[in-house]
Amino acid sequence: MAHYSPVVRAGPWVVVSGQLGLADGSLVVGTGGQVRQALVNLAEVLASVGLSLTAVVKTTVFLRHIDDFSLMNTLYAEAFGSHRPARSAVAVADLPLGALVEIEAWAYDPS
């Protein structure tokens, strides 16, 4: 087991560790599939603490290939709809398990 928590509360803040495009323990095929699945996984982790994507205030998207930015941006916009959290997107040399994308998030829960 990895030495980290997938989600941590710190007062009203909720920090979600980087989510890969994993389904049933395996990476889904292609960048688009991995972006979609990483966002589904992010939503599921948030739901585990009673939140949704609308609580997200900041994300960081790690891309294996910066040329995938446009595709990621389109799928990201579909997932978040009119909600627009702050975001950074960076290209990286490699990601765990050979993933093409990883998405981490900060959410705010005022309750």
Q: What is the pLDDT of residues 11-38, one digit of tens each?
A: 999 999 999 999 999 999 999 999 999 9
Reported as a single tens digit per residue, the pLDDT across 61-104 is 999 999 999 999 999 999 999 999 999 999 999 999 999 999 99
- Stated pTM of the model: 0.96
**Through-space distance between the first and last CA atoms of the chain, rounded to whole angstroms:** 31
Q: Return the CATH number of 12-108, one of 3.30.310.50, 3.30.990.10, 3.40.50.150, 3.30.1330.40.
A: 3.30.1330.40
Q: Where are the domains of the chain?
A: 12-108
Nearest-5° Cα angle at 11, 5 to 13 = 65
